[in-house]
Amino acid sequence: MPRKSDSTALYAFDAEQRAAHGVVCGVDEAGRGPLCGPVCCAAVILDPANPVEGVNDSKKLTEKRREALYEEITQKALAWQVVFVSPQEIDEKNILWATMDGMARAVAALDPAPDYVLVDGNRCPPGIQQPSRAVVKGDAGSASIAAASILAKVSRDRYMLELDKQYPQYQLAKHKGYPTKLHYELIERYGIQPFYRRSFLKKQGYWP
């Protein structure tokens, strides 16, 4: 178990789940709300014998801390996967089901496979083959879900920074694709690119 820290309670929760169910993975996503770019879904099986100090809800961490924890999680975890769900898939399935499918794909790609899946939120993706449990605010209660939230958030932010280099006029590095006043102004000025979610923009009247 980790030394006494903010992550102690999160690891204790996971230890209880492992005792009851076997190998546990956590699942979370980042990017459901933005107007553009992918949703990133991550699944992580942490090694209880090699804990990552300081894992917590990614929203409670600074960008620098998230980046450092990303490296540590990917080095220490028994298994991890990040799945990028494209804007096109989001438009085809809607954001909820595209996210559900992305989470299920991330879990299915884990090697070794988990015995039990902890999912952040209030519902479990039907595509997950293993027994699973939805954990409301799980990224602040489970070390595995917190680790998944960090991998998902960092992966998406890195993707948006690369996209910003290709399309600097949209200032994606600043707002990461979220629906800010500035972002809407830039869309009106420069138009819509293939990386935008048409279904999101239709609601705002930006798509014919």
How would DSSP label each residue in 147-177? HHHHHHHHHHHHHHHHHHHH-GGG-HHHHTT
Return the pLDDT at 206: 61
**Positions of E strands within the chain:** 24-30, 39-45, 79-85, 116-120, 132-135
pLDDT band for position 2 (cuts 50, 70, 90): very low
- Write the DSSP symbol of residue 137: T
Bridge-based pairing state of the strands 39-45 and 24-30: antiparallel
pLDDT higher than 80, residue 175 = yes
Cα(79)–Cα(91) distance, rounded to whole angstroms? 30
pLDDT digits (tens, 9 = 90+) for 80-110: 999 999 999 999 999 999 999 999 999 999 9
Is residue 60 classed as helix, strand or coil in its secondary structure? Answer: helix
What is the average per-residue pLDDT within 190-194?
94
Contact 150, 59 (CB under 8 A): no
pLDDT digits (tens, 9 = 90+) for 5-23: 568 999 999 999 999 999 9
Q: What is the pLDDT of residue 207?
A: 56
Instruction: Check pLDDT > 80 for residue 194.
Output: yes
- Residue in this structure with the two tokens 């492992």, named with its chain if needed: 18
Q: What is the pLDDT of residue 7?
A: 86
146 token code pair: 């917190």
Question: What's the burial of 19, exposed, middle or buried (CB within 10 Å: 0-12/13-18/19+)?
Answer: exposed
Q: Specify the residue for token string 């794909």.
A: 105
pLDDT over 90 percentage in the chain = 93
Residue whose entry in the numeric block shows the structure tokens 């705002």: 204
**pLDDT at 208 exceeding the cut of 60:** no
Tell me the average pLDDT across 111-116: 98
Average pLDDT, the chain: 94
Taking only the tens place, the pLDDT of each residue in 29-86 is 999 999 999 999 999 999 999 999 999 999 999 999 999 999 999 999 999 999 999 9
Question: Which is higher by pLDDT, 204 or 180?
Answer: 180
Tokens for 45?
Answer: 């099986």
pLDDT score recorded for residue 204: 65
**Is the preceding omega at residue 112 within 30 degrees of 0, hence cis?**
yes
